[in-house]
Amino acid sequence: MGHWYTKEGEPQHFIVGANGKERGTTLRDARKLDLVPSVTGIIDVLDKPGLNNWFQNKILYACLTVPRPEGISDSEFIKIVRQDASEEAEEAKLRGNVIHNCIEDMWNDKTGDSMDYEPDVMAIASSAIADICNYCGETDFIPEMTVAGDGYGGAIDLHNDKFLIDYKTKDIDDVSKKMAYPNHAMQLAAYDVALDFDTDSQRPASWFGKADGGRRCINVFIDRTEPGKVVIHEWKPEEITLAWEKFQLLLRYWKLDKGYMV
């Protein structure tokens, strides 16, 4: 299911179908409602080497650990292995969503039933917040704001006038390994432009890195299981400038590929 937004930045991920039941918004719905695609949906046209490598490793581990029933063919066993790896990947995704929601609730100072998370999730979320605040030297942020730019929309994890932050949960086995990829920079660049988008005139890419404009763009990688294992990557202004140029090309490609020149 893709994510969609109105041109004012309101989420429109679900609609009520003709049968009266809620369902995911489709491209056909988007055409009728004049919606814009999400930043992540646009970037999904690219290959993701980090994610692909992670899933390939899951399949390899499954080959080593999943018992092979007697008498089944290689193709049948491959299906079992793929199913096992897919289930583990889905569990990791759900775990990441829970951590993400917990971080959001903490930023919003929620208490009581709305903060009914497992202790380890609370510890992971609170340590990530502490690291972000220590790195940035401030605590005044706006969490989970939705925005729309010229032909796209999205939800920003965290930002203020100085910083733009997106966090991602991962299995971090080695903090020295590469975690930040160009697609992450493109996501941040698109959000940065959308935050200051003027419907009358699109801000030029050269705006990035000026003394009086451009937020510091940061990815925060959070381990899914170990509290305190957090890696922060800050992109250079020139990297964000290049990322914005790349994103514009991807957006153009997405529109041509879908035949949807919104």
- Please name the residue that has the structure tokens 């509290």: 227
User: Is 235:218 a contact under the CB 8 Å cutoff?
Assistant: yes
Question: What does the pLDDT read at residue 111?
Answer: 63
pLDDT higher than 60, residue 44: yes
Question: What does the pLDDT read at residue 66?
Answer: 83
pLDDT higher than 90, residue 87: no
What SS3 string covers the chain? CCCEECCCCCECCEEECCCCCEEECCHHHHHHHCCEEEHHHHHCCCCCHHHHHHHHHHHHHHHHHCCCCCCCCHHHHHHHHHHHHHHHHHHHHHHHHHHHHHHHHHHCCCCHHHHCCCHHHHHHHHHHHHHHHHHHCCCCCEEEEEEECCCCEEEEEEECCCEEEEEEEECCCCCCCCCCCHHHHHHHHHHHHHHCCCCCCCCCHHHCCCCCCCCEEEEEEEECCCCCCEEEEECCHHHHHHHHHHHHHHHHHHHHHHCCCC
Q: How far apart are CA 127 and CA 72, in angstroms?
A: 47
Q: What is the mean pLDDT of the chain?
A: 88
Question: What does the pLDDT read at residue 261?
Answer: 86
Question: What does the pLDDT read at residue 209?
Answer: 45
pLDDT higher than 90, residue 149: yes
What pLDDT, in 10s, does the model give residues 90-137? 888 899 999 999 999 999 886 666 678 999 999 999 999 999 999 999
Characterize 184-219 residue by residue with b for buried, 16 or more Cβ atoms within 10 angstroms of its Cβ, and e for exposed.
Answer: bbbbbbbbbbbbebeeeeebebebbeeeeebbbbbb
Residue 119 sits at φ, ψ, to 5 deg, of -55, -40
Question: What does the pLDDT read at residue 109?
Answer: 82
Any idea which of 10-19, 21-30, 105-114 has the lowest mean pLDDT?
A: 105-114
What pLDDT, in 10s, does the model give residues 180-219? 999 999 999 999 999 987 544 455 444 554 444 579 999 9
Question: What does the pLDDT read at residue 77?
Answer: 82
Residue 1: pLDDT band with limits 50, 70, 90: low
Question: What does the pLDDT read at residue 85?
Answer: 77
Q: What percent of the chain has pLDDT over 70?
A: 92
Structure-model confidence comparison of residues 114 and 154, the more confident one = 154
CATH code given to domain 4-258: 3.90.320
Question: What does the pLDDT read at residue 205?
Answer: 47
Average pLDDT over residues 154-159: 96
Structure-model confidence comparison of residues 95 and 86, the more confident one = 95
Q: What is the pTM of this model?
A: 0.86
- Structure tokens, 2: 């893709």
